[in-house]
């Protein structure tokens, strides 16, 4: 089964949940929400129908399908692990997801072992909502 988010489906999902992702931003903080945030961010950045309307260090606003969505970013720190790490046991009902280790890339680039990743998505907002957020200093 493949999830294909078109503007209508994204609007329906976000209308129901309003915020997905990290609890700090109003989401549930589940692993599934984190995956969906990454998927939505990928959709908004790669789809030619999507338009970046605001870009700052901790958030980006994309317009897609007539509505705007706020993607929140936060620093994620690479953890140092010592010794052998036990591989998790997966039942037949689950699937394995490979999570990329950013620590080597960060060391090569001279970063202090942190990277900004999308952690939450909020929306849908109308253009008027976004203008109101901007005039109130909320964005």
- Better-scored residue on pLDDT, 115 or 13: 13
Which value, to the nearest 10 degrees, does the dihedral of the CA atoms of residues 122, 75, 59, 21 take? Answer: -10
> Strands of 51-55's sheet, edge to edge?
19-21, 114-125, 67-77, 59-64, 51-55
- In terms of pTM, does the model score above 0.75? no
C-alpha to C-alpha distance for 102 and 113, rounded to whole angstroms: 8
Phi, psi of 5 (to 5 degrees): -90, 110
Q: What is the pLDDT of residues 92-108, one digit of tens each?
A: 444 444 555 555 555 55
Q: What is the pLDDT of residues 76-91, one digit of tens each?
A: 765 544 455 555 554 4
């Amino acid at each position: 089964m493949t999830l294909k988010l078109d503007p209508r489906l994204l609007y329906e999902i976000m209308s129901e949940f309003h915020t997905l992702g990290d609890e700090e931003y109003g989401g549930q903080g589940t692993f599934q929400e984190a995956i969906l945030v990454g998927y939505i961010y990928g959709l908004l950045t790669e789809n030619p129908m999507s338009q970046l309307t605001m870009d700052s260090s901790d958030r980006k606003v994309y317009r897609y399908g007539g509505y705007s969505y706020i993607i929140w970013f936060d620093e994620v720190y690479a953890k140092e692990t010592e010794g052998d790490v036990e591989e998790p046991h997966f039942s037949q009902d689950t699937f394995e997801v490979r999570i990329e280790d950013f620590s080597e890339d960060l060391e090569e680039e001279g970063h202090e072992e942190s990277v900004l990743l999308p952690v939450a998505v909020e929306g849908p907002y109308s253009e008027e909502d976004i203008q109101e957020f901007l005039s109130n200093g909320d964005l």
